Chain A
Amino acid sequence: MSFKDIIQSDLNVFFNLDEFAETHTIDGRSLNVIVDNDRLQQRSKKEYDGISVGEILFYVKASDFGERPEQGTPMVFDGRQMYVFDCREDDGVYEIILQQNRGI
């Protein structure tokens, strides 16, 4: 078994619903992702009266998600219309930060 295979088998543990992962609906697809709640935040957007910004950071297996999303791509996360603020790939896992402009 190669090192990559070992990492992949570890990913299956991390993204197991009995361990860390939860099922969320992303653009109409049910995917097992790990949401990092520590990074959830909401702040006021000073430039626009009446708008605040919410953020979600989550991890998803690249093989489950598919093509890496580009910055600015709209994405519906559990019914919330958001857009990709940042996406990084590390060892077959995407770390995706979504942002949402919300009414205050």
Chain B
Amino acid sequence: MSTVSVLEALKSFLQEKISPIIKLQKPSDNNIHDYKLVNPAIHIGWIPPKGYLPEGMEAAIPCLIVGLDDATDDGQGLELNIRISAAVYSPGLHKPVATGLDYTPDFKGYNDLLNLIDRTVAELMKNQIIDGKVAIQMPVKWGMYQEQPYPYWYGWITFPVKKQTYPTAEIARQFL
């Protein structure tokens, strides 16, 4: 199983287990009063720029981004250190009033971020073998970045996964 296949297996897992169960605010950079909730998108590697969104994807953020920190193969086993980044848009409180929505900015967007992270960690812990091929290892760690690009909020989840090692050369198998 290639590195890309591991990332794709994790993406499919998150699309099935996380995207449908949570809705978060869609970014509205030009009109803060335009309030809409969407299911988080799942990306591999990086957030695609405008114009490169896959068909049917409403917004690049909120999202989970499946990435690779690094990988090692010691001949006995192959381990990949996975980083899932989480990004949400949460500028403040939109409260329903008779005339529509009343908006008050606040700095509580970390709640939405941590809810997304918590649900993702819970599903990873419940399903430690993904697609029958990727084995999630402990420890699973998560956190938030010290500085946040308000009204966007960013955090991360890291954990190792094991997969079958690449075949070694015949000479290495015999003599090493």
Q: Using a CB–CB distance below 8 Å, which chain A residues touch chain B?
A: 45, 47-51, 54, 74, 76, 79-81, 83, 100-104
Contact = CB atoms under 8 A, between A and B. Distances in A.
A101 B154 contact: no
Specify the main secondary structure of chain A where it touches its partner: strand
Given A79-B33, A103-B89, A104-B47, A48 B105 contact: no
Contact of A81 (B60, B61, B85, B105): B105
**What band does the interface of chain B fall in when counting residues whose beta carbon is under 8 Å from A?**
20 to 34
B49 A104 contact: yes
A104 B27 CA distance: 11
Contacts of B65: 49
22 contacts: A47-B147, A47-B149, A48-B152, A50-B47, A50-B87, A51-B149, A74-B105, A74-B150, A76-B103, A76-B105, A79-B31, A80-B30, A80-B31, A81-B91, A81-B105, A81-B151, A83-B150, A101-B149, A103-B29, A103-B50, A103-B61, A104-B50
